[in-house]
Structure 1
Amino acid sequence: MQCVLQTIQGGVCLNERETFASRLGFVLISAGCAIGLGNVWRFPYIVGQYGGAAFVLIYLVFLVIMGLPIMAMEFAVGRASRRSIAGSFHVLEPKGSKWHWYSWFGMAGNYMLMMFYTTVAGWMILYFVKMARGDFVGLDTAGVAEQFGTLMGQPGVMLAFMGIVVLLGMGVCALGLQNGVEKITKVMMVCLLVILVVLVVRAVTLPGAAAGLEFYLKPDFRHLMYASDGSLRLGEAIFAAMGQAFFTLSLGIGAMAIFGSYIGKEQRLFGEAINVGILDTFVAFVVGLVIFPSAFAFGVTPDAGPNLIFITLPNVFNSMPGGRLWGALFFVFMSFAALSTVIAVFQNIITFPMDKYGWSRRKAVLVNLVAIFLLSLPCLLGFNLWSGFQPFGAGSSVLDLEDFILSNNLLPLGSLVYLLFCVSRKGWGWENFLAECDTGKGIRFPSRVHFYMTWVLPFIVLIIFVMGYWEKFKPAILALFGN
C-alpha cells in the first residue's frame, strides 16, 4: 500500500487505518482484553473476603473515579492519533517533547503480559481436555491437587499447550482486524457470556447454594471494617478495592489505545469506557455466582489464584452431579476469557511494527509468533527445570517476577503517563483531550474535574504504585527495621 502526498509518521500513512465493522465489535473486543483470569481467580475471592456486596460498592466507586477516566484517555489518545502506542505519542505530543519514549516501555508491558499469560491460558485448555475425558473422576482432594502438581513437572505438556495458545492467537490476528480479531472475538465473547449464564443457573440451584449466595451478596459492613481477630482493616479493604478497579482494565500499556485507533468519531469515548467497564465488572461479579454457591454447596472453602481454578473448583465439580459436563463447560469459559485477552494483546503487539516500520501483517505475525513463543519459555520452565530460581523467596517463580514487573511497575506508571499526557500543557493537554473524548454522541466526559484529574488522580495512582511495593516487600521491610 503506497501513500502519495500524505503525511507519513514512523513509516505508515496517518489517514490509512483499519476500522472495526461495528461498535459492538469495539466494545466486545475492548472488554475481552479487560476480561481475563484476574476476573475469575481474584475478584470473587476478595469480594467474599472483604464483606461481599459492601466491598463491591467501594470497588464500583473506584472504578468510576479512577479506572474509567484513564480508559477514556487511552481511547482518546488512540482515536486522535489513529495509531497504536508505536506512534500515538509522536503524533500528539508537542514538538521537541519526549513523551514518545514511553512507547517502548508500554510495548514491553504487552510482551511481559504474554510471557506468562500464554502459559496459564494453555493450562485452561489442557484442563478442559482433562475434565472432558474424566481425568478427575474418582479422585479425592489430594488426588486433584496432585494432578496440578504433576502438570508443573511436565514442561513438554505445558510447552505443547502454550504453543497451541500462541498459534491460535496469532492465527486469528493473521486473518485481519475485521475478519479475524473482531469476528472471532465477538463469537467467543457471546459464547463466554452464554456459558457463564448456564453455569450460574446450575450453581444457584444446587442444594445448599443459598448459604454461598448470602455470603457473597449480603452486605456485611462489619466484615468489611474488621478482620476475624477484631483488628481494623478498612484501609486494607479500600486498597484492595482500589487495586482491583485499577488492574482489572489492563490500563497503562496501550492495550486500550489500540482499539481507540480503530473506531470512528460517532460516539463519545467516556460512554464507551463505561460500556466496557460494565461488561468487565458484570463478568467478574457473575463468576462469583458460580464459585460461591458451588463451593458452599459442597463444603469447600473458596481459595484465590491458581489453587481456586486448578484445585478447588475441580474438587467442586467432582462432587457435583454431572460435574464432568459442568467442569468442562467452566474450562471452556475460562479458555475463552484467556484467549480473548491473548488475541487483543497480540493485535497490539503486531500493530507496533506495522505502524512504526511499515511491516506487513503477515511479517509482523510470523516474527512475533516466534518471539512470543521464545519469550514464554522462562515462565513455563520456572515451574520445573528452572524452579531453583526463586526471585521473591521460597515458593516464588519466574511468573511472580514477570507479574511484579508488569502489575507493580508498568501498569501503574504507564497509566500515570497517559493521565499526565492528557492533562498537562506540556503534553497533549486537557482541552485537546476533552475535544476528542466528547466528539460524537453519548455521555460527555465531566469537564469540571480538571483539578481532580490533574492533582488528585495522579496521587491515587502513585499510592497504588507505592502500596504495591509495600505489600510485596512488607515482611522484608519489617524484618529489616525489627518490626
Structure 2
Amino acid sequence: MKRESFGSRLGFILVSAGCAIGIGNVWKFPYICGAYGGAAFILIYLLFLIILGIPVLVCEFAVGRGSRKSVALSFDELQSKNGKWTPLKFIGIIGCYMLMMFYTTVGGWLMYYCYKGIRGSFVNASSDNISTQFSQMLTDVPTMLFWTILICVIGFAVCMFGLNNGIERVTKVMMTALILIMVVLAIRSVTMAGAGEGIRFYLIPDFHKMVESGIGNVVFAALSQAFFTLSIGIGAMLIFGSYLDQSRSLTGEAVNIMFLDTFVALTAGFIIIPACFAYGIEPGAGPSLIFITLPNIFAQMSGGRIWAFLFFLFLTFAALSTIIAVFENLVMFNMELLGWRRKKSVLVCAALIIILSIPCVLGFNVWSGVQLLGEGSTIMDLEDFIVSNNLLPLGSLGYVLFCTRKNGWGWDAFIKEVNTGSGMKFPKTLRGYVNYGIPAIIIVIYLKGYYDKFKDMGTGIFVGWMIFAIVFLAWVIYCATSVEKDRTE
C-alpha cells in the first residue's frame, strides 16, 4: 500500500496545527490565564512551551517520518533488534480512542451552541435562563446524541476522502476561516467600552498577582498547559510526520506549529478577557466560561446573535480539526494492523466511536450517579483524567526515551532524521537535556497531577491512586530499559 503524502508544506503545518489547536486553547487557556495573573502567567507559559513542548513534538514527528507508519507500527519499525518497545503502542491506540470518547461530546455541544447562536437563543436572555439552557442540554439525551453523532459523521466523512482530497483540503479551509473569525472577534472585543482594563491585565505582567496565587501553583499550571497544549503523547501528531517528506527539517516545522497553536491561544484570550472586564465578569470563572459566562455577554451585546454564532463557529472548527486528525489515526490503525482498505476502516471506526461516545453522553443524565473520581465527577472527567493525566504524559515520556536510548531508536538515528532537510536544526548539544532533563520534567508533571487530583480524597484513596501511578510509570520505564535476550545464546 503506497503511503500518501501532503500536497504542500502549508497543508502539513495547518493540519498538524489543527490537531494541536483544540478546545483546550480556548476553553482552558483564558481561564487559567485569568486565574493566575494574566501576562505574568503567559511569560512563564511561553518559556515552558519552548523548552519542553517543542522538543517532545519534534520527537513525535521524527518517529512518524522515520517509520512512515502510525503509532500502531512505528516502534516495531524503528526499534533495535533487542528492544522491547512494542507494548507502548497501546498508549497511543487506547489514547486516541479514549480521547474521542469524550472530545466528540464536547464538539457536539459546540455545534449545538453554534446553532443556538444563529437562532438567537441568547439574545435578551437572562443569566438564569442561559444557565438553564446549558443544564437542559445536559439532561436532554436525544439532543446530546444527535449532535455527538453528527460531528462524528462529519469527521469520518472527511477521512473517507483520504489525506489530500479530504483532510488536507478541508482543514486548510477550516483553519483559514478559524484564524479570520478569531481576528474579527478579537478586534470586536478589544474595542468594547471598558475593555482597556482587561487588555492591561492581559498584556502587563503582574507578579504581585502571581505571588498571591502562589508562585509554585502558577509555574506548575504554566508547565502543564505548555505540555498538554500541543496534543503530544498518543501519536495524534506522529501520523502527520509519517506523511511528510524529507525536504524540511523537523524543528522548524514544530516551531511553526507551536507558533500557530500559541497564536490561537493568545488570541482567544484577547477575545474573552477584555469582554469579561467590559461586562464585569470574572475571567477566571472556569470551564463554564464558554457555555454560561460568554453567552451572558452575547446576550448584552449589540448584534449578539451574529457574534455568538461566529464565536461558536470558531470553536466548532477548533474542535473539528482535532477530531478529524485523531480520526485519521484510528483509520490508519486498522489499515496498517489489519490490512483493511480506507472505506472499510472508516465505516468500522465511525460505528465504534459513536458507540464508545455514548457513556460520556449518558454520564450527564442517565448515568450521572457514576462518580468514580469523587462526588460531582462525571464519566467525562474519568475519561479526560485517563488521557490527560496518564496517557499523554507517559506516552510523551515513551517517545523521548525511545529517541534517546540505544535499545530504542537511538540518539544518532533520531538526530539524523530530525535534521534532514533545509531549515532550523535541532541542537546536538541538547542531548543530555533531552535524555535526562525532559524525562524528569514529565515525571514531575505526571506525579504532581496525581497528587493534586487525589490529595483531598482521604488517605486510603490517595495512597491507592499513587501506587497505581507509580506502577504505570514503572511499566513505561521498564519498556525503555529492558533488553530482549539474544535467542541464539
| TM-score (normalised: structure 2) | 0.93
> C-alpha separation between the residues in 2 aligned to 1:45 and 1:290?
12
1:213 aligned residue (191, 195, 199): 199
Q: State the partner residue of 1:251.
A: 232
Q: Secondary structure at the match of 2:135?
A: helix
Aligned-pair CA distance for 1:477: 4.7
> C-alpha separation between the residues in 2 aligned to 1:304 and 1:109?
29
Check if 1:21 corresponds to 2:2: no
Q: Which moved more, 1:396-405 or 1:102-111?
A: 102-111
- What amino acid sits opposite 2:274 in the alignment? P
> C-alpha separation between the residues in 2 aligned to 1:135 and 1:166?
25
Aligned-pair CA distance for 1:287: 0.4
Q: Is the Cα–Cα contact under 8 Å of residues 30 and 283 in structure 2 kept in the other structure?
A: no
Aligned-pair CA distance for 1:138: 2.6
Q: Is the Cα–Cα contact under 8 Å of residues 12 and 244 in structure 2 kept in the other structure?
A: yes
- What amino acid sits opposite 1:92 in the alignment? L
Q: State the partner residue of 2:80.
A: 94
Q: Is the Cα–Cα contact under 8 Å of residues 41 and 304 in structure 1 kept in the other structure?
A: no
Check if 1:267 corresponds to 2:214: no
Q: State the partner residue of 1:178.
A: 164
Q: Which moved more, 1:201-210 or 1:48-57?
A: 48-57
1:30 aligned residue (16, 20, 42): 16
1:298 aligned residue (249, 262, 279): 279
Q: Secondary structure at the match of 2:53?
A: helix
Q: Is the Cα–Cα contact under 8 Å of residues 151 and 158 in structure 1 kept in the other structure?
A: yes
Q: State the partner residue of 1:420.
A: 401
- What amino acid sits opposite 1:313 in the alignment? L
Q: State the partner residue of 2:478.
A: none
Q: Is the Cα–Cα contact under 8 Å of residues 42 and 304 in structure 1 kept in the other structure?
A: no
Check if 1:394 corresponds to 2:375: yes
Q: Is the Cα–Cα contact under 8 Å of residues 303 and 312 in structure 1 kept in the other structure?
A: no
Check if 1:75 corresponds to 2:61: yes
> C-alpha separation between the residues in 2 aligned to 1:141 and 1:298?
13
Q: Is the Cα–Cα contact under 8 Å of residues 30 and 284 in structure 2 kept in the other structure?
A: no
Q: State the partner residue of 2:267.
A: 286
In the TM superposition, what are the counterparts of 1:105-120 in structure 2 within 5 Å? 105-120=91-106
**Deviation string, structure 1 residues 414-447 (Cα, Å, up to 9, x no partner):** 0000000001111100010000000000010011
> C-alpha separation between the residues in 2 aligned to 1:477 and 1:22?
54
In structure 2, relative to structure 1, the CA distance for the partners of 1:386 and 1:312 (3 Å cut) is: same
Aligned-pair CA distance for 1:137: 2.2
> C-alpha separation between the residues in 2 aligned to 1:49 and 1:305?
9
In the TM superposition, what are the counterparts of 1:29-428 in structure 2 within 5 Å? 29-227=15-213, 233-428=214-409
- What amino acid sits opposite 2:319 in the alignment? A
> C-alpha separation between the residues in 2 aligned to 1:480 and 1:183?
48
**Deviation string, structure 1 residues 131-178 (Cα, Å, up to 9, x no partner):** 111112232111100000011110100000001000000000001100
Aligned-pair CA distance for 1:222: 1.3
Q: Secondary structure at the match of 1:253?
A: coil
> C-alpha separation between the residues in 2 aligned to 1:306 and 1:160?
23
Q: Is the Cα–Cα contact under 8 Å of residues 119 and 158 in structure 1 kept in the other structure?
A: yes
Unaligned runs of 5+ in 2: 463-489
- What amino acid sits opposite 1:342 in the alignment? I
> C-alpha separation between the residues in 1 aligned to 2:215 and 2:335?
47
Aligned-pair CA distance for 1:478: 6.7
> C-alpha separation between the residues in 2 aligned to 1:134 and 1:22?
40
> C-alpha separation between the residues in 2 aligned to 1:52 and 1:299?
16
Aligned-pair CA distance for 1:48: 2.2
Aligned-pair CA distance for 1:47: 1.5
> C-alpha separation between the residues in 2 aligned to 1:299 and 1:58?
27
Aligned-pair CA distance for 1:293: 1.0
> C-alpha separation between the residues in 2 aligned to 1:303 and 1:464?
22
Aligned-pair CA distance for 1:304: 4.6
- What amino acid sits opposite 2:78 in the alignment? L
**Deviation string, structure 1 residues 283-329 (Cα, Å, up to 9, x no partner):** 00110101011111111122454411110000011111111110110
Q: Is the Cα–Cα contact under 8 Å of residues 25 and 186 in structure 1 kept in the other structure?
A: yes
> C-alpha separation between the residues in 2 aligned to 1:422 and 1:392?
34
- What amino acid sits opposite 1:73 in the alignment? C
Aligned-pair CA distance for 1:480: 8.0
> C-alpha separation between the residues in 2 aligned to 1:434 and 1:368?
35
> C-alpha separation between the residues in 1 aligned to 2:266 and 2:461?
39
> C-alpha separation between the residues in 2 aligned to 1:451 and 1:477?
39
| TM-score (normalised: structure 1) | 0.94
Aligned-pair CA distance for 1:388: 0.7
Q: CA RMSD in A?
A: 1.2
In structure 2, relative to structure 1, the CA distance for the partners of 1:249 and 1:405 (3 Å cut) is: same
